Amino acid sequence: MIRRLALLVRACHPEPTAAVTVLTGALFLAAGNPIGRSLVGTAAILCGQLSIGWSNDLLDRRRDRAAGRPDKPMATGALSARLVATVTTLAVTATVILSLRLGWPAGLLHLSAVGAGWAYNVRLKATAWSALPYLYAFAALPAIATLARHRHFPPGWILVAAGLIGVAAHFANVLPDLQDDFDTGVHGLPHRLGRRSATWSAAGLTAAVAGLILLARPEPATAGAAVLTLGLAVAAGRARPETAFPLVMLAAAVDVVALLASGGLPS
- CATH code for position 25: 1.10.357
The residue among 111, 127, 143 that closes a domain is 127
Q: Total structural domains in the chain?
A: 2
User: How far is the C-alpha of 169 from the C-alpha of 224, rounded, in Å?
Assistant: 22
CA separation, residue 119 to residues 25, 59, 73, 116 (Å): 24, 12, 23, 5
Domain extent, residue 82, equals: 1-127
How much is the pLDDT for 212? Answer: 95
pLDDT at 173: 87
Residue 141 inside a domain? The answer is no
Percent of all residues in the chain with a pLDDT value above 70, rounded to a whole number: 100
pLDDT at position 183 over 90: no
- Same domain flag for 114 and 179: no
In the structure, what pLDDT confidence band is assigned to residue 239 with cuts at 50, 70 and 90?
Answer: confident
Buried b (16+ CB within 10 A) or exposed e, 48-82: bbbbbbbbbbbbbbebbeebebeebbbbeeebeee
Q: Are 110 and 102 in contact (CB under 8 A)?
A: yes
Residues 257 and 228: their CA atoms lie apart, in Å, by 12
Count CB-CB contacts under 10 A for residue 13: 19
Q: What are phi and psi of 119, to 5 degrees?
A: -60, -35
Q: Is residue 161 in some structural domain?
A: yes
In a domain, 253, yes or no: yes
Domain boundary among the residues 90, 111, 127 is at 127
Are residue 161 and residue 204 in the same domain, yes or no?
yes
Q: Are residues 81 and 166 in the same domain?
A: no
> What percentage of the chain reaches a pLDDT higher than 90?
73
pTM of the full predicted structure?
A: 0.94
